[in-house]
Amino acid sequence: MISLEQVGFAYNAGRSDAIVALQNLNLTFQKGELVALLGHNGSGKSTLAKLLAAVHFATSGNLRVNGIHATETTAYDIRRDVGLVFQRPDDQLIAGRVIDDIAFGPENLGLPRDEIELRAQTVIDALDLHDIRDASISTLSGGERQRVAIAGVLAMQPSYVILDEPTTMIAPPQARQLLALVHRLRQQLGIGFIHITHFMHEVVDFDRIIVMHEGHLLMQGTPHEVFNRHAELHAVGLDVPLVTQIGSKLHAKGFTLDTPILTAQQLAQQLPASSAPVVQPISTPTSTPVTSDTFISCENVHFTYLKDTPMQSSGLRGATCTIRRGDIVALLGGTQAGKSTLIECILGLRKPETGTVRIDGKDIYAPNYDIGALRDRIGVVFQQPETQ
């Protein structure tokens, strides 16, 4: 068990620029329990995670892991038992290759070679990392790095794993996989998880939800209890899951529903069959024709990464689209669907092998086109602000 008694923490404690991040926290976490930690940015979630994993230490009160008081002296033992996956995986990946990074923790524990290999293999299986086992970490996507970071923590076989916003950098299907993995590992290994997230729907089947606000505990309870307090959550900038909001709106309109509704399945089960609408067929997408107010037009754009090498991979295969002046357009697609590649072709950063990109009707890859002038026409905010 992890227990917190009147725990407080301040950055730069004792100095004039001290920042109080946590106050009077009384909490417990059980092994095998799935706990969600919610709260607005700056509410203290990451700070609490670092206290639990003995990265920082309480500046007041007591934090105990299995009865052991967390201090600089006991930190090493506590870190073996409480693994933390940082908000940014790059803060925790140290080795060059995936397999070396996973083995790093167990090696540090001084375990025998075959035990290290067995643990590495187990987490590689659990997280399905076979394909990238020997890959260099610098070549991995955000989602892959996340999984490697989790694998490294799991290889230490901790009793508790804290995941600090692990799903912000990955696409919904991978996020679902990760959550399924959390449930499976709890089931199989009895690991207790503390999952920090902004996505409410991820935690509707957790054992408990803790809500933080400005460094203190605002509320805790089952998902049913917490998501029933919509107004209080709203007041601190949080929401209930979308399906819960829909449930309350329908309830207010007179539908007999057992609120709060937490899943789409519950909603479907409880809605009367007579309210089922006639399903309309979905129309196939068509491209808007090029007209005088067309700003960007791409026609049959092809782009291949590392062409004519064994690593060759297709980025775009005949992308065609038009964007009119003043339009607000959403570009959707799974990871590796080609979203960023298309943007880079439009920005003049990647020359298509075939096809044309026109801005204001001019082919931007034509020999006499002034790419410099294009920079004044289109601004871009990259996926990772650092690259900018």
Residue 11 touching ligand ADP (CB under 6 A): yes
Applying CB under 6 A, the span of 38-46, 92-100, 258-266, 321-329 interacting with ligand ADP comes to 38-46
Binding residues for ligand ADP, rule CB under 6 A, total: 11
CB closer to ligand ADP, 122 vs 168? 168
CB closer to ligand ADP, 86 vs 227? 86
Task: For 249-285, give one letter per residue: b (16+ CB within 10 A) or e.
Answer: ebbeeeeebebbbbbeebbeebbeeeeeeeeeeeeee
Give the nearest distance from C-beta 43 to ligand ADP in angstroms.
4
Instruction: Please give the order of strands across the beta sheet that includes 68-69.
Output: 19-29, 2-11, 60-65, 68-69
Give the nearest distance from C-beta 20 to ligand ADP in angstroms.
8
Applying CB under 6 A, the span of 37-45, 130-138, 200-208, 338-346 interacting with ligand ADP comes to 37-45
Taking residues 17 to 36 in sequence order and writing x for each that binds ligand ADP by CB under 6 A, - otherwise, the string is --x-x---------------
Q: For residue 19, which amino acid is it?
A: I
Closest CA to 55 of 94, 63, 108: 63
Contacts of 173-178 with C-beta under 8 Å, sequence gap 24+, read: 173/334, 174/143, 174/335, 175/199, 175/202, 178/146, 178/147, 178/150
Applying CB under 6 A, the span of 43-51, 255-263, 294-302, 322-330 interacting with ligand ADP comes to 43-51
Can you tell me the distance from the alpha carbon of 36 to that of 52, in angstroms, rounded to the nearest whole number?
Answer: 14
Give the nearest distance from C-beta 85 to Mg ion in angstroms.
12
Asked whether 60 and 7 are in contact (CB, 8 A), the reply is: yes
Instruction: Please give the order of strands across the beta sheet that includes 82-85.
Output: 82-85, 160-164, 192-196, 34-39, 208-213, 216-221
Interface ranges with Mg ion (CB under 5 A): 46
CB closer to Mg ion, 11 vs 305? 11
Can you tell me the distance from the alpha carbon of 356 to that of 230, in angstroms, rounded to the nearest whole number?
Answer: 50
Residue 41 touching ligand ADP (CB under 6 A): yes
Give the nearest distance from C-beta 168 to ligand ADP in angstroms.
12
- Tokens 């001019």 label which residue? 362
Residue 39 touching ligand ADP (CB under 6 A): yes
Asked whether 63 and 238 are in contact (CB, 8 A), the reply is: no
Residue 47 touching ligand ADP (CB under 6 A): yes
Residue 45 touching ligand ADP (CB under 6 A): yes
**How would DSSP label each residue in 196-218?**
E-S-GGGGTTSSEEEEEETTEEE
Give the nearest distance from C-beta 4 to ligand ADP in angstroms.
15
CB closer to Mg ion, 46 vs 244? 46
Residue 218 touching ligand ADP (CB under 6 A): no
Contacts of 377-383 with C-beta under 8 Å, sequence gap 24+, read: 378/346, 378/347, 380/343, 380/347, 383/340
Residue 16 touching ligand ADP (CB under 6 A): no
Applying CB under 6 A, the span of 45-53, 59-67, 167-175, 236-244 interacting with ligand ADP comes to 45-53
Give the nearest distance from C-beta 38 to ligand ADP in angstroms.
9
Give the nearest distance from C-beta 183 to ligand ADP in angstroms.
24
Residues of this chain that interact with ligand ADP (CB under 6 A) are 11, 19, 21, 39, 41-47
